[in-house]
Amino acid sequence: DVDGLFSEYVVVPASNVFLLGDKINLKMAPLIQVMTTVLHSQNKANITSGEVVVVLGLGVTGLLQIQVAKALGAKVVIGVSRNPFKRELAENMGADFVVDHGIEAKKKALDVTGGRGADVVIESVGYLSVLAEAIDLSRIGGRIIPFGIYATMEGKLPFYEFYFKELNIINARAALPNEFTECIEMVEENKVNLSPFITHTYKISELSQAILHLDNPSDKRLKVILEV
């Protein structure tokens, strides 16, 4: 991480640069980096064809998790959010089912799996209460990706259920160089659609206004892009 990136030109190592083809709009390019971390997490979890995946939280990363899981062959992907706008987005992006947190999510996960629970649950919020929900929705021997960033240093989790189910926690933070190439190919082949993520655009001269926009929570804001 470095300062000074609100610029027209930036000097970086050549190994950090990847060529984008004509099929990718430059507006969408900033989302490729976010997508690589999503793909990295799913590669580490070894999501495979035929599995049932639950995504808790449908912000930018949660919505990307849905599309990437489908691209990797997940049989059923369930998106979970309290936000109706984001549930609609998730459905449009390929989620097989979209539900609210709590009872609705538990019922759907059990119905779809014949009572077993999900093979993989991705927590994309960053709250321990949602991580606890991930444990609840997982099948015995399931995998959990705690993709949200947790600011808390301590808290309560259902550790006995975690123990009893023999769950696997798979953590991911960054991405590998080959995953940048994979993500670019996914977008070029229309396996992942990035255009719905750009909800607001500002000129670079409007940087202060764009940052203020980010500071004000909005139910219908995803990615704010600066145009040079």
* For the chain, domain boundaries: 29-169
Pinpoint the alpha helices (H) of 72-156. 84-92, 103-112, 128-137
Q: What is the pLDDT of residues 163-183, one digit of tens each?
A: 999 999 999 999 999 999 999
User: What pLDDT sits at residue 1?
Assistant: 65
pLDDT band at 59 (very low <50, low <70, confident <90, very high): very high
Which segment of 34-43, 45-54, 73-82, 202-211 scores lowest on mean pLDDT?
A: 202-211
Q: List the one residue out of 68, 60, 55 whose CA is nearest residue 182.
A: 68
CA pair distance 219, 191, nearest whole angstrom: 26
* Ramachandran category for residue 167: left, alpha or beta (phi over 0 → left; psi -120 to 50 → alpha): beta
For the record, the structure tokens of 181 come out as: 């190439």
Classify domain 29-169 at the CATH superfamily level.
NAD(P)-binding Rossmann-like Domain (3.40.50.720)
Q: Give mean pLDDT, residues 23-44.
A: 95
* Three-class DSSP category at 90: helix
CA distance readout (Å), 168 to 22, 132, 139, 150: 40, 14, 11, 18
> Looking at the predicted structure, is the pLDDT value of residue 55 above 90?
yes
Closest to 68 measured CA to CA, from 164, 183, 202, 176: 183
